[in-house]
Structures are given as structure tokens and as C-alpha cells.
Amino acid sequence: MRYRRSRLSFRNGFRTAPLSARIGLVVIAIYIAMAVFAPLLAPFGEADVVSSEPFAPWSIIHLLGTDQMGRDVLSRLIYGARNSVGIAFITTSLAFVVGAGLGIFSAVSSPWCDSILSVVADTLMAIPQLIFALILLALFGSSITSIVLIIAMLNATQIFRLSRLLARNVVVMEYIEAAYLRAESTWWIVTKEILPNVLPTLLAEFGLRFCFVFLTISALSFLGLGIQPPSADWGTMVRESATFISYGNVTPLLPAASIAILTVSINFVIDWFLDVTSGLRNDS
């Protein structure tokens, strides 16, 4: 009943979503379409050198010009959505599976297990995330697998803290005690009682965490330790052409604007989602 009420509230809120949330949803849908259909939308290949002139001006053939190697900027922007957004989504999903799973498990487990998991999470959270990521990537290399696993591990600690706090607030409720008295299994209690009550907050945190992961991967690419060439990545594209801003070339601003627009759009949607699920927005 509690979960059904939340779901109905979300549906009612969608029909009366503010303009900012609607714009955010449209922008997110466009980015998803770019990531999924990149080979069909891009006029050229991801790493194809299509011009002998580096940093060629905008033209009918190359709508956004070319980069320092003569590759089409528009095509690399479109493929960059697949790489940057896709890898960030996979990383965030992995971080949530690990962090939220361990957080809920910690809340319902024995005190000694809870203490061990909390100490490990606190230790990892005490280390500055970007510096720790740079050290680990320097040790293990900048492959996509390393990036996903390292960034997911670092973000899972914060998700663990949030999910553990939410779950501990639920396990003290009377209906949880009643479930234990009915001899319900721990798995049943977690899936039927705890998870539905913490899911809205976790979904909102997923959006926020995706933004942090997305920006972290872009920052690592800008520093040269993220997604490696010839794969198109917005952070790498900014780094490769950053010096040309002083010459009036706005090409470096295009991938930077792509990063900023997606981040702002996700935050618009999260704000609306939190209003709806928390009951702060009255749809009656």
C-alpha cells in the first residue's frame, strides 16, 4: 500500500511536471538517442580522418568543423555521448548494486558485520576521491574496465552510507517487527518491506550520483587518465582543443556545453522527482 501510493503520486506529478522538468526529460531523451543511435546519426566514423585541414572552420560538409587531426567534430560529439554517458551509466549502476546492496545488508545484519562494513566505507571515504582515482588509474592503467571498477568502488562507499541510513530507519518500524514475528525470511523483509520504502530516495540519489560520476570521468579524461583516444570522449575533446579558445575558436566549448547541459537537465528532473515522491508538491 505504501509503495502503491508513492507510484500513483509519481504518475500524478508527471502530468503536472514543471517546465524545467519537462525540458530536462526531453534533453535526457535526446542524449539517450544520441548514445544508442550514434552510428546512424553521425555523418562520419568516430575516428575517421575526413579532412586534411586540422581545425577546419564550420562548413556544410563539416557542420562543426574538424579537430586537430582532421576528424569531424559533430561525429565525435555524437559518439562522445555513447562513450561518456554510457560508461558513466554503467559505472553508476555498478556502484549502486554494490553500495545499496551492502548498505541494506549491513542494516539487517549482525552488529559486528555492520561495524566492519562501516569501517571499510569510512576509510575509503576519508581519501580524496579524485586523488585516489588518479593514483589507482596510474597503477592499473586507464582501460575502460579499470575506470568503471575504480570509480564505481569509490562511489559505492557513499551510496553504502545513504542506503544503510535509510534501511536502519525502516528496520525499527513496527511492521518490520511484525514481519519478524511472523517468521518471515530476511530476503522477504528486504524485498517486500525495506526496499520499496527506500527506493524513491535511492532513485533520486542515482541521478545525483550519475552526475558526479559523469563529471569525474570527464575530469579524468581532461587530465589524460580517462577514456583514451581514439575513442571520442567529451573531456578529452576539451583537453585537445582547449588552447584554441584564446584564438576565438569555440570548438572546445561544445563538448564542455554538452557536459553542462546534461548535468543541469538531470538535476531538474531530480528536483521534480523528489518533490513528487516526498509529497511536497500538492497535485490535488
Domains in the chain: ranges and CATH: 20-46+69-278 (1.10.3720.10)
Please tell me the pTM assigned to this model. Answer: 0.82
Q: How many CB atoms lie within 10 A of CB 156?
A: 25
66, β-bridge pairs: 72
Spell out the per-residue pLDDT of the chain, length 284, in tens.
Answer: 444 444 545 555 556 778 888 899 999 999 999 888 988 998 888 888 888 777 777 888 888 888 878 888 889 999 988 888 888 999 999 999 999 999 999 988 888 988 999 999 988 888 888 888 888 888 888 788 999 999 999 999 999 999 999 999 988 888 888 888 887 788 888 888 888 888 888 988 898 899 889 888 888 888 888 888 778 888 888 887 777 776 667 777 888 888 889 999 998 988 888 777 765 555 44
Residues 6+ apart with CB under 8 A from 250: none
Amino acid at 244: F
CA atoms in the 13 A half-sphere facing the CB of 53: 7
Residue ranges in 81-143 assigned as alpha helix (H): 86-108, 111-125, 129-140
- Rounded to whole angstroms, the Cα distance separating 35 from 212 reads 19
List the grid coordinates of 58. 564550420
